[in-house]
Copies of this chain bind each other. A is one copy, B any other.
Amino acid sequence: MTAAGKHQVSRTDTTRRRSRPVRAGIRDVAAAAGVSITTVSDALNGKGRLPDATRRHVREVAERLGYRPSAAARTLRTGKSGLIGLTVTTYGDEPFTFTEFAYFAEMARAATSAALARGYALVILPATSRLSPVDVWSNVALDGTVVVDPADDDPVVRELARQGLPVVSDGRPAGSLPVTAWVDNDHEAAVLDILDHLAAAGARRIGLLTGTTTDMYTRLSTSAYLDWCARIGQDPVLEAYPAHDPCAGAVAADRLLARPDRPDAVYGLFDPNGTDLLAAARRYGLRVPEDLLLVCCSESTVYASTEPPVTTLSLKPRRIGTAVVQLLIDAIEGVNQDQPVEQVIPTELIVRTSSMRRSPRTTVNPPRSPGQG
């Protein structure tokens, strides 16, 4: 008690007394426990060589007073905030694209879990700086940032790098963008795989439903398709639409099947393409997979129970989200410096009826026999 010191006591007297019950500070705990603030700090943070008795005592007192350390003060002092920025390319006013919902939601979920498990939290930030009058970016102390789909010459990434903050991107950066590390799929290989799969199922002319945006995913996938066509000797049959507009997708799907050189198989690069193509096929009286083979890139489970179920390509967003965060935190904490800075996550093709010309068993037994058999 006596050792608590004059400073604390006088401060408590003059500042605290008359105000309403304000959050207890480290000094209050020190005073109540009869130790110095250093001891409190050490006891709570597991530092120093304190006897267990002291440590336990201090913790009890802190608990009793409902003491919560000030995150701001700790951050100011240590230079680490435990906060990781999460940024997604913006279309229009919305922070992320509608068509990428399932992908983004899964990726963000995995990233959140991975971050929390290592004691960090994610802060959602806009890809465009100065969205609001006050720049949110400068209002938050970040230890590093995850950037999803960085633009070709992303100004946010550049600025972050200039500040010396580690940046890890989901999606390989174009050109010389200075990211600390990146995680991505091998989109070209994935597309070639699907085209071969469709060809093996009997496709003679494969169409592509693609986007008008110039992000890496769209660009790589489309050029892989064009290369494949050139190699095989097939004329490309593709329709592009602005991927952020859900209605445009339905129209593009329709347009693709309305062409004179109508494809007998289609790969759609975006999540809703499956249902859109299915609907378009119905409108034209095309049977799937008999008249039209179908694959789309999606993370949604609805394609397991559509009629017919649709073959999908999963980009494994969970694995990507986890990997991105691990790489970032490793960079922040300076561990695993020997780890590769580029990580390629394998994709998974989930083959369902829509791309199986060989097994047209349209009659499926119910899992168990209903009353009326």
Give residues in A with beta carbon < 8 Å to B: 23, 66, 68-76, 81-83, 93-96, 101-102, 104-106, 108-109, 112-113, 116-126, 131-134, 136, 138-141, 162-164, 246, 250-251, 254, 257-260, 262, 272, 275-276, 278-279, 282-284, 300-302, 305-307, 364-368, 370-372
Contacts and interface: CB of A to CB of B under 8 A. Distances in A.
A72 B72 contact: yes
B305 A82 contact: no
Contacts of A141: 70-72, 75
A123 B83 contact: yes
B258 A83 contact: no
A119 B94 contact: no
Contacts of A278: 305, 307
Contacts of A254: 366-368
Contacts of A126: 116
Given A124-B124, A136-B82, A262-B371, A305 B279 contact: yes
A141 B105 CA distance: 25
Most chain B beta-carbon neighbours within 10 Å: one of A81, A109, A259, A262 = A109
B305 A275 contact: yes
Given A119-B132, A123-B123, A370-B257, A82 B139 contact: yes
B116 A136 contact: yes
